[in-house]
Structure formats: C-alpha cells, structure tokens
Amino acid sequence: MNLTLSVDEQLVHRARKRADALGKSLNQLVRDYLQKLAGGDDPDQSIAEFRSLSGKGHSRGWRFNRDEIHSREPHSREPHRRGDA
C-alpha cells in the first residue's frame, strides 16, 4: 500500500542521512517504525514459534537458584545440587 505524507523538507533530508548511515532506505525506516507502532507480531505465528522452540535446550543439570539470580555477583553455571546453598 502506498502512503502519502506531508513532512518538512529539512526533516526528510536529515532522516535520509540517518537512514543512509544505518544502511537502510527512509522507506524501510518508516515501514519498520509503523510495524513496531502497530505491534507487528502475529500472535498465532509467535505462539507457533514459541512451541517449536520449547523443550529444545538442555540444561546439563543446571537449575535456577533464586539467590544466584538476584545476586549482583557473577555466578558459575555449574549444576545446582540439592542441599547446596
């Protein structure tokens, strides 16, 4: 679909320079913005993608530990064993 907009000439000039610096066309930047604005995700597609990716990983025995997750210090990814603090 084509869309006609009224935009200040200087604004278009600056936007084209920015688009060029990003390696995109101004048209692509506007399209990307509208996609984000409209909430471009197709819910059915997102659900299908989530289901296809679910259960594909392997934790190698590592388990989330609430204290480690909320700590500010880096933690190892060694398996958490019952009884460890």
Whole-number pLDDT of residue 40 = 62
If you search the block for the tokens 């600056």, which residue do you land on?
14
Whole-number pLDDT of residue 22 = 93
Question: Which tokens sit at 14?
Answer: 């600056």
Whole-number pLDDT of residue 76 = 58
| CB-based contact 58:51 (threshold 8 Å) | no
Question: Which tokens sit at 76?
Answer: 């190892």
| CB-based contact 85:65 (threshold 8 Å) | no
How do residues 4-41 score in pLDDT, each as one tens digit? 999 999 999 999 999 999 999 999 999 988 888 887 67
pLDDT at residue 70 tops 60: yes
